[in-house]
Structure 1
Amino acid sequence: MARARFTPLLAWAGAALVLGAVAAELSGWRFLRAPVERAATQSAGVPVQMQGRFRLHLIGRPRLEVEHLHIASDPRFGAPHLLDARGAAVAWRWGDVWRWRQGDRLRLQALRADALDARLVRTPDGRANWQIGARTPRAEAVEAEAEPLGGLPRFGSLVIGEGMVDWQDPVADVDLQIALRAREGEAEDGAGAGTEARLNGRYRAMPLRLQARAGGTLPLLHDPDTARDAPWVPLRVEGTVGRARLLYDGQAAALLGTPRLQGALAFSGPSLAEVGRPLGLTLPQTPPFELRGRLSQDAGVWRLQAERAHIGSSRLAGDLRFFQRSQPRRLTGELTGSRLAFADLGPAIGAPAAAARPQTPPPAGRVLPQRRFDLPSLKAMDADVRVAIDRVDFGTDAMAPLRGLQTQVRLQAGVLRLDELRASVSGGRFQGMTQLDSTAEPAAWRATLDVAGVNLADWVKGLRRNGQGQGQGNADPYLTGVLQARLDLSGRGASTADILGSLDGPIDLRLRDGTVSHLVTEGLGLDLAQALGVFVRGDDPLPLRCARFDLVARDGVVEPRLAVLDNRDSTVRLGGRVNLRDESLALRVVTQPKDWTPLSLRTPVTVTGTLGRPQVGIEGRRLAGRLAGAIALGAVAGPAAAVIPLVDLGKPGEGDPCEP
């Protein structure tokens, strides 16, 4: 009987509790303000205050609305507070709170504020005032802490009507102030509504001065997991990034953290390297550039569709993707173009830009580029980019351009490789690879190159008299032939000069089916009589029997194992060395005639000095001996006899001088 009476009481009590909970939910649980403040303070580890109007909803979609929300900052960070918001609304899910208590990053469904003042501070040791209530992080979250805003609670949406975000983060190299202002527009249609933002300060060592205008209420942050559900808002951004000018016109769903945007981009500046650095992109030093195309970002992947990329005098285009959330970051895609000027690559290999002076003048007499490579940047990301360029110009009329340059640029774990490198020029082709390993100490460079079927005179226009082409007067080249070459070289160092100064490996150059200037041949041998005859009747090219330069580099010193140029008139041999460590020259050219001549001063020709200041001379002691003999014989036997010491009977060639 007692049990029967107790059951209705329980039912009435349960109903009363439900009705009470419903009533409390409808009223916003106002009596829980103080307990909620205490619980929030205990969880955050810093004082949390809620003032003015207070409404809490715990059933269905939990959320908190408060007129004034103040979250303090730990005193060790030196900030007046972490967050001070007016008209704030916070929404969450209970499952996210439970996971946060287990050590995961805190996720909030939304944070909205009519006005907000946030002071985000991280110290050099990696501790941040926004890591409130931090637990021991899970392994997968550790690496993210070094990222900009790493450890900040994730937001399904963060919307600020008006306010200031002051962000100081030496770990991510950020010192940035973001001022925000929203306009509601007309009540009926919302015309004129939007958000304006000004960004000033420094982002990864790059000064920023940007103004953004969104055509609606633009979320500042979005959780990457929910960003795809966010509405698109028209967005225009313009200003400066370092010394580069930026104009972006498109639409966006979020701006910070993991942005989501797409639109047209116009970008110009003094060098690609300067603008790549803030994004963690490894880009080469270049002359001034101007870029136009489309830029988008989605799920941590940036995509640049460059319709026009003018870099110096180069004309390029491309479709590139940058995976910002990958570890390490990664760049893929293709780079194309109608023209690449070799001079525009100069800064990338240590030479000054065409329009700029080197910051540090090279040592006296030196010509090899001394500027050190930016080797640490090669370890900042990976890359796999296909390159296809129609024309590569050497920046001089003395050389014909390369055609159809193709290569695969790969950067992995600090090793930069140009694989499958090939191009055509003057009826022949180039093919090879090159690699720079920045992880070695010192950095290690290697290259192999095969050249086949290249018409030398057509490629090297400077071999023609006065640079003229065929059919323009006396335009026969000094040297012609079909070039075959093989190089397999290595070096070490942090600059072009260092690498060449430690060069090792063979260089084998051969010419076939060619000719050589008769006048140059006689001039090298100081054959006055034949040179005068050739000058009078014209310089008919001599067919080349063979020409070969088999060189070897050892620790920066290049010496010929065999260097010979052979024709029907003479055999010219080259000896000596070129020291690339100090850029000194010590070369000796010896010409052996195959026919007799009545007036010859034949003596070895020398080339000394440096690459920047070569000095051409003759071995005077040998020449002085021949002249002294001529003078003495002339004095004894008469003037006619003085010619006898100057007569060279010559020596017919035997065998093939181009084979050892």
Structure 2
Amino acid sequence: MALNDLTSWTREKWRAAREWSAPRATRLGHAVKSAPWKSIGIWTGGIVGGLVVALVLLVTFADWNALKGPISRFASNASGREIVIAGDLDVDPWSFTPEFHVTELKIGNPRRFAERGMFADVSEAHAAVRLLPLLIGRLDIVRIDLDGADVSLFRNAEGDANWARDPRTAARGRQFNLPAIRRFSLNDGRLRYVDERRRMVLDATFTSNESANEGGRFVLQGEGQINNRPFSIEASGAPLLNVRRDRPYAFEADVRAAGTRIEAHGSITRPFDLNYFSADVVASGPDLADLYYLLGLALPNTPPYALRGRVERNNTVYGMPNVRGRIGDSDVAGNFTASRQRNGRLLFVGDFNTRTLDFDDLMAVLGGAPDTSETASTEQRAMAENLAASNRLLPDAQLDISRVRNMDARVSYRAQRVRTDRLPLRALAVDVNLDSGLLRLDPLTLSLNQGRVGGAVSINAREDVPRVDMDVRLRGARLESIIAMRGEPALTGALAGRVRLSGSGGSVRDAAANADGDVSFVVPQGEIREAFAELTGINVTRGLGLLLSDDQDKIAIRCGVASFQVTNGVANVHTFLMDTETMLIRGTGRVSLRNEQLDLRLNGEPKEARLLSVDAPIVLRGSLRSPRVGVDAEEALDEGGLAALLGTLVAPLAGVLPFIDPGLAEDADCRAALALRPQPVRAG
């Protein structure tokens, strides 16, 4: 028992001793192991602290001008253009808004535009940015002050620009988006902009200054030249002191270029991302085509206009969903969008309607000029006066092929009513398609009071000299509605026709001067006042008697055909025939589109003996603008050849009728009229 008690006591003491010694050994082991790391930590902290202190001292007392070279080279390599700090560089880094001050900052053009000199030359620049956003890669500018900034912008005819990184960037047309700026000032700023594509040279000076003492407004003013005409811009907006990216930035703008004026009141959706904005716009000017210099849109020539609507831009697409107003003496309403395609070309898509179209306004679109008594610009009035002075009818305004080559378009236009005293037009409808310089008006429909004109016109401006092709048909028309005469109409009946011409030239006049093709008209049935029919044969006694007695009796037109072969701008009569109950009228001569002169002769052959008949044709001579009607007493028709003449006309008429309308030949009485072949009767 004693031995067992001793053993138990010994075991308990050993356990207690072991339990007491274990924690101590552990503590001693940790102490031994942690001693080297503690020393390393102390040394590391000292080194880091020393580096921080050294860095602080370096940044505080460093000569930043010594770093101009490395900083300039780094910026040049990153931007692809030469950047040089020719003056002083100073940095104040000890702030949550570090400040930078640079003098004589010179920024060169990209290498492909190196021959054009400097892109920007800034005398003095002061900027402050927020530090924390900068650490996460976002540039938030607190302040920018620029003094004496000269900027030169250039875009060549192909669309490559010196502010773009490469031609593909320029072709996409993306705007440069400024980061948010809290405060901005620009003093003595000068801008030169040369745009070969738009034929524009702009020299402008900009001065802006904003602070709380100025009512919290941002103001930008500039003046310069566009297309050798005065240009000015004045813009103002909400204060930039507290601009936020998630709130629209309101602005107002007033742009004037010669007689063109654009006023806008709107907002930029995401300051200052110019790819997203909307504005209520009022635009007016002497000619819509002048907007090309401001907007880059190849619009047609027009009389003076006044339009209003809302402009919206969403990324690369902008347009007006509700444009309305007046162009000349015509109202207009519709919508359009413009966007960049993948090939870099601008695509214009529009749908426009007019309640009442003044025909003179349409003449301006064709390169002509409205009547001087109508709404017209100073240039258009001068053009109209020149046309009148030269006794010319066809306009000679040149088509600017560079514009139509640089834009594509799909436009639908409808005029519900046409106001004109010249032609019996009632309505107009046309679809316009412009694709890489090929302009097509197809279908083109002119609704007459009776009948319609339909067909297609194309202008191919892909070559240096545009080519014009037209093929239009006249169907269902009536002579009495086209030939305007007071009182009872002298001619009545159905009328059909076709004009198929092709010519090359930069204007309507040039294209007509070398045109080739065919022009034909047919009167399948009708009536003519007997007095006029008699006078074509110069049956003096009967014809004058009927006219003086105001006799309205009519005789039937069995057939009427006028066919011209056009070669090199001259339309020679191929077939001219009108067969009535008492008279066979034929015509010869030509119409020159080159010099706009006509020389036509009408010979009337009686089908029965007349008391007094003068064998002399009626002549139609002079200019297309002011033709003259008279009698040519020097020529006479050999009456004995009338029957032979009728026989020679059968074959040409058989070809003319299907050319105009395949179904017309069945209705016309021409073949029956010629088949009769009446023998001429001499007066005796």
Give the alignment's TM-score, normalised by structure 2: 0.74
Q: Is the contact between residue 181 and residue 240 of structure 2 (CA under 8 Å) also seen in structure 1?
A: no
Q: Which consecutive unaligned segments of at least 5 residues does structure 2 have?
A: 1-28, 76-82, 109-115, 373-380, 640-669, 678-684
The CA deviation string for residues 115-154 of structure 1, in whole angstroms up to 9 with x for no partner, is 323321257999xxx989x9xx66634657xx799xx7x5
Give the counterpart of 1:377 among 398, 403, 414. Answer: 403
Show the 5 A alignment for 1:161-240.
161-164=184-187, 165-171=189-195, 173-184=201-212, 192-202=215-225, 207-217=230-240, 231-240=247-256
Residue 555 of structure 1 corresponds to: 568
Q: 1:424 to 1:360 in 2, by over 3 A?
A: closer
Q: Is the contact between residue 290 and residue 309 of structure 1 (CA under 8 Å) also seen in structure 2?
A: yes
- Percent identical among aligned pairs is 22
Q: 1:442 to 1:79 in 2, by over 3 A?
A: closer
Give the counterpart of 1:367 among 377, 389, 393. Answer: 393
Residue 464 of structure 1 corresponds to: 485
Q: 1:24 to 1:435 in 2, by over 3 A?
A: farther
Show the 5 A alignment for 1:516-531.
516-531=528-543
Residue 346 of structure 1 corresponds to: 363
Give the counterpart of 2:71 among 40, 43, 59. Answer: 40
Residue 72 of structure 1 corresponds to: 105
Q: Is the contact between residue 177 and residue 201 of structure 1 (CA under 8 Å) also seen in structure 2?
A: yes
Q: Is the contact between residue 216 and residue 234 of structure 1 (CA under 8 Å) also seen in structure 2?
A: no
Structure 1 letter corresponding to 2:73: Q
Q: CA deviation at 1:26?
A: 11
Determine whether 1:289 maps to 2:305: yes
Q: Is the contact between residue 413 and residue 430 of structure 2 (CA under 8 Å) also seen in structure 1?
A: yes
How many Å separate the matches in 1 of 2:551 and 2:528?
14
Residue 121 of structure 2 corresponds to: 81
How many Å separate the matches in 2 of 1:302 and 1:26?
51
The CA deviation string for residues 455-509 of structure 1, in whole angstroms up to 9 with x for no partner, is 3323x2x5322xxxxxxxxx22122222222222111111211111111112221
Show the 5 A alignment for 1:578-597.
578-597=591-610
Determine whether 1:120 maps to 2:151: yes
Give the counterpart of 2:265 among 234, 244, 249. Answer: 249
Larger radius of gyration: 2
Determine whether 1:268 maps to 2:284: yes
Residue 630 of structure 1 corresponds to: none
The CA deviation string for residues 332-383 of structure 1, in whole angstroms up to 9 with x for no partner, is 1212221222312323333234341129945855432233222222122111
Q: Is the contact between residue 213 and residue 237 of structure 1 (CA under 8 Å) also seen in structure 2?
A: yes
Structure 2 letter corresponding to 1:341: D
Structure 2 letter corresponding to 1:402: R
Q: Is the contact between residue 219 and residue 253 of structure 1 (CA under 8 Å) also seen in structure 2?
A: no
Q: Is the contact between residue 280 and residue 380 of structure 1 (CA under 8 Å) also seen in structure 2?
A: no
Q: CA deviation at 1:281?
A: 1.1
Q: CA deviation at 1:289?
A: 0.9
Q: CA deviation at 1:537?
A: 6.1
Q: 1:374 to 1:353 in 2, by over 3 A?
A: farther
Give the counterpart of 1:493 among 505, 527, 530. Answer: 505
Q: 1:194 to 1:595 in 2, by over 3 A?
A: same
- The alignment partner of 1:481 has SS state of strand
Give the counterpart of 1:358 among 363, 368, 383. Answer: 383
Structure 1 letter corresponding to 2:126: R
Show the 5 A alignment for 1:599-614.
599-612=612-625, 614=627
Q: 1:170 to 1:302 in 2, by over 3 A?
A: same
Structure 2 letter corresponding to 1:344: D
How many Å separate the matches in 2 of 1:14 and 1:444?
83
Q: 1:218 to 1:260 in 2, by over 3 A?
A: farther
Q: Which consecutive unaligned segments of at least 5 residues does structure 1 have?
A: 58-63, 97-107, 187-191, 221-226, 466-474, 627-652
Q: Is the contact between residue 30 and residue 56 of structure 1 (CA under 8 Å) also seen in structure 2?
A: no
The CA deviation string for residues 102-122 of structure 1, in whole angstroms up to 9 with x for no partner, is xxxxxx734442532332125
Q: Is the contact between residue 89 and residue 103 of structure 2 (CA under 8 Å) also seen in structure 1?
A: yes
Number of equivalences: 580
Residue 51 of structure 1 corresponds to: 90
Structure 1 letter corresponding to 2:204: L
Select the structure that is richer in helix. Answer: 2
- The alignment partner of 2:356 has SS state of strand
How many Å separate the matches in 1 of 2:437 and 2:323?
30
- The alignment partner of 1:529 has SS state of helix
Q: CA deviation at 1:582?
A: 2.3
Q: Is the contact between residue 476 and residue 541 of structure 1 (CA under 8 Å) also seen in structure 2?
A: no
Q: Is the contact between residue 201 and residue 208 of structure 1 (CA under 8 Å) also seen in structure 2?
A: yes
